[in-house]
Amino acid sequence: MTITLILPGPLADEIIAATRNPLECAGVLLARRVDIGPDVRLLVRTMHWVPQTAYNEQSPHHMLIRSEGYVGALGAAEADGAVPIWFHTHPGEVGVPLPSEHDRQVDHDIRDLFQLRSGSGMYATLIASPRGESLVFSGELTPEGGSTLPIDRIWIVSDRWRLIQNFGYNLSAPDAIFDRNVLAFGPNIQSVLGELHVAIVGAGGTGSAIAEQLVRLGVRHFLLLDNDVLSSSNVTRVYGSTPSHVGLSKIEVLRAHLMRIAPDLDCSTVQGMVTVKSVAGTLRGVDLVFGCTDDNAGRLVLSRLTTYFLTPVIDVGVLLSSDGSGTLTGIDGRITTLAPGAGCLVCRNRVDMARAAAEMQTPEERQRLADEGYAPALGQVEPAVVAFTTAVAAAAVNELLDRLIGYGPPDRPTETLLRLHEREISTNRAFPRDGHYCDPVQGKWGTGDEEPFLGQLWGRE
């Protein structure tokens, strides 16, 4: 069982700033709970800081707080259907974020109140200390009448992405096969790569190229999602495929290939379309998604995943253009990074809404609408070449590495555009449109399993 706390950038910044206060300080985080099998994800939505007037005592090593400092947050937790997390700091760069005897007494005194007044039946704690630009932590989750469980990891999704293990986690040295990686970005990042849970939606030319690079970098937890079987024309682009695989499931061909590279790989597969609710639901438990689907409806679903589950998505597209004689005139690639605070694919005008609506229909309904002129024709075969899908895939993996390592410019773009035929690269940043679902003022960040799922209607199962 793994419990992960997901922090969007603005709240992570507040908490990291609080750890740098020379005096202990406290607050209540509100998080929606998402259960994925035995695992739990806590999607943090808001922070209610204890007001200064509620401290009876406050020092670098001790604090006493009146109940008025946190009771209001419990009512807010009940109204939001959230788990309240009692948070406080242990200051100092050498601070140890482990509960003291006094902390344990506080837990005993307020646990029942938190569980009852919030309506969640849960009591959770989080203690943090500063470390460099980030933090170290310990945390626990206690269900009413159940055993206390550790919060294993924090996944910070901001301009930079940070996966932080519980302070008690024993970090093992990376395998010697990654020595060249470690020389480039150090053992900590190598360990993070090994702990990340990555989904790849679309196992074609781009998705398979991304998967191969990630597994060779050291990613060891994959979810592969695709609905197609391998065709003869796919063999020219899909990594790991041979003519003998034609007619087999793309995801099983790719999984077998990845397992040959890394026999210790944890790799799940889902045969289906992400536009089906039950299939989309399998993405609830991953840390990161690479969107390599070529349909607009699928992109709409992945775009919403970022807002509702705080899951970063790297959406990838490749477009080859040619004239009527078959002469190649354009080689364009796009890598769009979606995280809370960035504009979604709709805000960026990266989704053809008419085609997305048509793709969500049944084949019969789609044909009827196309015949009546109300829907665009679908299913055209687009040109694709392995050199170009691989180049764009590499740029997408670069985006992940930069977000983890931080070797790029401090103001990171959220989109990279490649015009390979012109040897040009450009970048941009886009923010949510006012009033759109991804706008933080709409309160949709981290709503999790709230119905309707992902805030949209689902036409088929």
Residue 10 within a domain:
yes
Q: Does residue 200 sit in the same domain as residue 153?
A: no
Of 165, 195, 221, which closes a domain?
Answer: 165
CB 185 within 8 A of CB 405: yes
Return the pLDDT at 359: 66
Neighbouring-strand partners of residue 322: 328
What integer pLDDT is reported at residue 202 of this predicted model? 96
Residue 109, token pair as written in the block? 């005194």
Mean predicted lDDT score pLDDT of the chain: 92
CA distances 1 to 38, 153, 194, 384, Å, are 5, 12, 17, 41
pLDDT at residue 173, as a whole number:
86
Using the 8-state DSSP alphabet, how is residue 103 labeled?
H
For residue 426, list its beta bridge partners.
417
Cα–Cα distance measured from residue 3 to residue 73, given in angstroms and rounded to the nearest whole number: 22
DSSP calls for 355-420: HHHHHTS-HHHHHHHHHTTSS----PPPP--HHHHHHHHHHHHHHHHHHHH--S-SS--SEEEEEG
User: What is the model's pLDDT at position 314?
Assistant: 98
Residue 171 belongs to some domain of the structure: no
Of 165, 191, 209, the position where a domain reaches its end is: 165
Domain carrying residue 125: 3-165
Q: Does residue 354 carry a pLDDT above 80?
A: no
Please state the domain count of the chain. Answer: 2
Q: Quick: pLDDT tens for 251-289.
A: 999 999 999 999 999 999 999 999 999 999 999 999 999
Q: What is the CATH number of the domain that holds 11?
A: 3.40.140.10
Q: Are 222 and 199 spatial neighbours (Cβ–Cβ below 8 Å)?
A: yes
Q: Which of 120, 138, 165 is the last residue of a domain?
A: 165
Task: Please give the distance of CA 147 from its chain centroid, rounded to a whole number.
Answer: 28
Token pair recorded at residue 293? 């689907």
Report the predicted TM-score, pTM, of the whole model to 2 decimal places.
0.93
The answer to the question of residue 342 being in a domain is yes
Q: Which helix (H) or strand (E) holds 6?
A: strand 3-8
Domain co-membership, 382 together with 331: yes
**DSSP string spanning 256-291?**
HHHHHH-TT-EEEEEES-TTSHHHHGGGGG-SEEEE
Residues 81 and 228 both lie in one domain: no
Task: With respect to residue 460, please indicate whether it lies within any of the assigned structural domains.
Answer: no
146 shares a domain with 181: no
- Is the pLDDT score of 461 beyond 70? no
Instruction: Compute the average pLDDT of residues 46-56.
Output: 96
pLDDT digits (tens, 9 = 90+) for 241-251: 999 999 999 99
C-alpha–C-alpha distance, residues 338 and 347, integer Å: 11
Q: 101: closest CA among 93, 91, 92, 109?
A: 109
Token representation of residue 167: 């302070």
Q: Band of the pLDDT at 406, cuts 50, 70, 90?
A: very high
Rg of the chain in Å (alpha carbons) = 24
What does 107-138 look like in DSSP terms, one character per residue?
HHHHHHHHHHHHSS-EEEEEEEEEETTEEEEE
Same domain, 130 and 18: yes
Q: List pLDDT tens digits, range 89-142.
A: 999 999 999 999 999 999 999 999 999 999 999 999 999 999 999 999 999 999
| Token code pair at residue 50 | 């204890």
Count of Cβ atoms closer than 10 Å to residue 377 Cβ: 11
pLDDT at 362: 55
Instruction: Judge contact between 271 and 249, C-beta under 8 A.
Output: yes
225, 85: one domain: no
The two structure tokens encoding residue 316: 């990838």
How much of the chain, in percent, has pLDDT values that exceed 70?
A: 94
Please state, for a pLDDT cut of 90, what percent of the chain lies above it.
84
Q: Which two tokens stand for residue 208?
A: 């398979």
| Position 44, amino acid | V
For tokens 């080859």, what's the residue? 320
Q: Is residue 270 part of a domain?
A: yes
Is the pLDDT at 377 greater than 70? The verdict is no
| Residue 220 shares a structural domain with residue 161 | no
Bigger pLDDT: 459 vs 457: 457
Per-residue pLDDT for 364 more than 90? no
317, two tokens: 């597209």
Question: Does the pLDDT value for residue 368 go beyond 70?
Answer: no
For residue 327, the model assigns a pLDDT of 83
Handedness of CA 71, 72, 78, 81 (dihedral sign): negative
Burial class of residue 345, CB neighbours in 10 A (0-12, 13-18, 19+): buried
| The pair of three-digit structure tokens given for residue 339, joined into one six-digit string | 């995280």
- Domain membership of residue 232 (yes or no) is yes
**Taking each helix axis from N to C terminus, what angle separates 179-195 and 205-217, rounded to the nearest 10 degrees?**
110
Query: What CATH number did the domain enclosing 246 receive?
Result: 3.40.50.720
Give the per-residue pLDDT at 370: 54
Gap between the Cα atoms of 400 and 310, Å rounded? 16
Q: What's the pLDDT score for residue 382?
A: 76
Band the pLDDT of 375: cuts 50, 70, 90.
Answer: very low
Give the Cα separation of 300 and 298 in Å (integer). Answer: 5
| Cβ count near 79 (within 10 Å) | 11
Same-domain check for residues 212 and 358 = yes
Instruction: Return the H-helix or E-strand segment holding 334.
Output: strand 328-338
Mean pLDDT of 156-178: 91
Residue 291 has which token pair? Answer: 């969107």
Q: Tell me if 172 is assigned to some domain.
A: no
Q: 191 and 96, same structural domain? A: no
Give the whole-angstrom CA distance, residue 395 versus residue 399: 6
Q: What does 213-239 look like in DSSP terms, one character per residue? A: HHHHHT--EEEEEE-PBPPGGGGGTST
Contact 211, 289 (CB under 8 A): no
51 belongs to a structural domain = yes
pLDDT computed for residue 458 by the predictor: 82
- Residue 181, SS3 per DSSP: helix
Same domain, 368 and 250: yes
The 10s digit of each residue's pLDDT in 320-353 is 988 877 788 999 999 999 999 999 999 999 988 7
On whether both 311 and 390 belong to a single domain, the answer is: yes
Helix (H) or strand (E) holding 36: strand 26-36
Residue 192 and residue 156 share a domain? no
